[in-house]
Chains A and B, each alone.
Chain A
């Protein structure tokens, strides 16, 4: 059985790029749902059984960090792996995200190899 992914990004082109890249990683994928901000991400998480969330940080309405905080407050989502996709690849920003519970990060620009490395670790080891 494959993984169920959610891509959360306000950019339609980045969502399409991540969807394409996921297909190139070789990971077994059952479903991919897409959300354009943190609010929609929380709604889709409640409606779907998801394994992995790939999320941008910098988004309108509700940003990625706030969405992650809310997800990590809910015990029922303990098994959901979260990987952030960010352009702000500084250690400080990543540490801030790590404190609230992420399982990996992908710094743009990235390709299928980097995605596979990060997602593979996230789904097998949890961090």
Chain B
């Protein structure tokens, strides 16, 4: 698949998930490639997929963004947040974005079977996966998400595809 087309699909998928369920806005920044997963932020939500495409999608975000997303999902006060809920939100971001990306690539056929999502806190755990091939990194900005700071909140959506259908099959 062309990078521009995938970039557009990823942008739509992230926008829908964050706006509709977490009440956050997200603007895609310039995508780039990397030799392995870029782990700049504290929390990593990831999900593997297998089928026509094999690989993994991860969301790498700050705890602050994960908490804002959880508050948006649940509509509760910040004091009421639980650690399990915050980590579950990051898992679900990866899960929903991954599902949305593949259903936008092909809305008729199930291209992949999704695994069970997981979340790693990089302050206390090591991310256990390495990319087999070059990965695509799609940075997103959510702007400033706290009233007391103008700092731009950025998260990374990263896609590692280990194998995909050859072009002759795609054209059939």
Name B104's closest neighbour in chain A (CB-CB).
A89
B75 to A20, Cβ gap below 8 A? yes
Contact status A17-B73, CB under 8 Å: yes
- CB <8 Å contact, A13 and B103: no
Please tell me which stretch of A27-35, A45-53, A66-74, A105-113 contacts chain B, meaning at least 4 of its Cβ atoms lie within 8 angstroms of it.
Answer: A105-113
Distance to closest chain B CB from A105 (angstroms): 12
> How many Å from the CB of B133 to the closest CB on chain A?
24
Interface residues of B, Cβ cutoff 8 Å to A: 16-17, 20-21, 70, 73-75, 84-85, 88-89, 91-92, 95-96, 98-100, 102-103, 106-111, 114, 116
Among A15-63, those with CB < 8 Å from B are: 16-17, 20, 58, 60
Known: A88-B99, A91-B108, A93-B110. 13 other contacts (CB 8 A): A10-B116, A12-B85, A87-B100, A89-B100, A90-B102, A90-B108, A91-B107, A92-B109, A108-B96, A109-B21, A110-B20, A110-B21, A111-B20
Question: A127 at the A/B interface (Cβ < 8 Å)?
Answer: no
Chain A interface residue count, CB cutoff 8 Å, equals 23
Instruction: Pick the most buried of A13, A14, A86: most chain B CB atoms within 10 A of its CB.
Output: A13
- Alpha-carbon distance between A13 and B109 when the two chains are bound, in angstroms: 28
| Inter-subunit contact A108/B21 (CB<8 Å) | yes
* Cross-chain contact of A87 among B20, B109, B114 (Cβ < 8 A): B114
**A79 on interface, CB distance cutoff 8 Å:** no
A-side contacts of B75, CB under 8 Å: 20
Separation of A82 and B76 alpha carbons in the complex (Å): 28
